[in-house]
Amino acid sequence: HRILLLGPPGAGKGTQSTRLADEYGLDHITTGDALRANKGMETEYGTPGEYMDAGELVPDPVVNEIVVTALEDADGFVLDGYPRNLEQAEYLSEQTDLDTVVFLAVPEDELVDRLTGRRVCSECGATYHVRFDPPEEEGVCDECGGELVQREDDTEETVRERLRVYRENTEPVVEHYREEGSLVEVDGEGTPDDVFDRIRDVVEG
């Protein structure tokens, strides 16, 4: 499978693509995680962290490089967080074909709640939510015992900026796949299990 998972910040792309990768034995290619692991890397455009902490997009050449390297090694994959503008979509179409394009639809109020309540494990990267998916012990990862922290860009102000950037740059990408006829919209509300069942139906369609 070559799956693209699109959706606004907080739609559940990370949660669902991790499950898809497990279920079908796919590489999980996520530009957000790759960039977070290299926030301080010096590039000719500055560091990725300068853009990320402000909620802005990291320049295309830096992100395209990450994706092309990951695609070289991947047999099947689920792509999460890329493409985020029409230029990236164009670049991607030159690198690979896609079998399935899923758009996860979630209303904006719910996105803000999900992101401001998200906690991530500082050791293993597992994702939680203070209300929707709390760990057994507050602030401690169920998987590895690591400390749970809030992502730098999950403050309400930066979340609003990320949503603005999404509307301006990424919604045209969603429209592009919709017009092409390849996009399948999935309701991203309900429990993560409910959403996963819906995506699986599309993938196995």
Which are the catalytic amino acids? Answer: 13, 84, 118, 151, 162
Per DSSP, helices labelled H in 25-170 are 31-36, 48-52, 60-73, 86-95, 108-116, 156-165
Q: What is the DSSP letter of 43?
A: B
Q: How far is the CB of 29 from ligand AP5 (least distance, A)?
A: 10
For ligand AP5, the binding residues in 7-36 under the rule CB under 6 A are 7, 9-15, 31-32, 35
For ligand AP5, the binding residues in 149-168 under the rule CB under 6 A are 153, 162
For position 43 contacting ligand AP5 by CB under 6 A, the verdict is no
Non-local CB neighbours of 158 within 8 Å, separated by 6+ positions: 53, 54, 55, 152
Asked whether the bond before 83 is cis by omega within 30 degrees of 0, the reply is yes
Q: How far is the CB of 199 from Zn ion (least distance, A)?
A: 24
For position 51 contacting ligand AP5 by CB under 6 A, the verdict is yes
Q: Which residues bind Zn ion (CB under 5 A)?
A: 121, 123-124, 126, 141, 143-144, 146
For position 100 contacting ligand AP5 by CB under 6 A, the verdict is no
Calculate the CA dihedral of residues 141, 144, 149, 151 and round it to 10 degrees.
-110
Q: How far is the CB of 60 from ligand AP5 (least distance, A)?
A: 7
CA 139 and chain centroid, separation: 23
In 3-state terms the chain splits into helix, strand, coil percentages (rounded to 5) of 45, 20, 35
Binding site for ligand AP5 (CB under 6 A): 7, 9-15, 31-32, 35, 51-52, 55-58, 63, 81-82, 84, 88, 114-115, 118, 127-129, 132-133, 153, 162, 191-192, 195
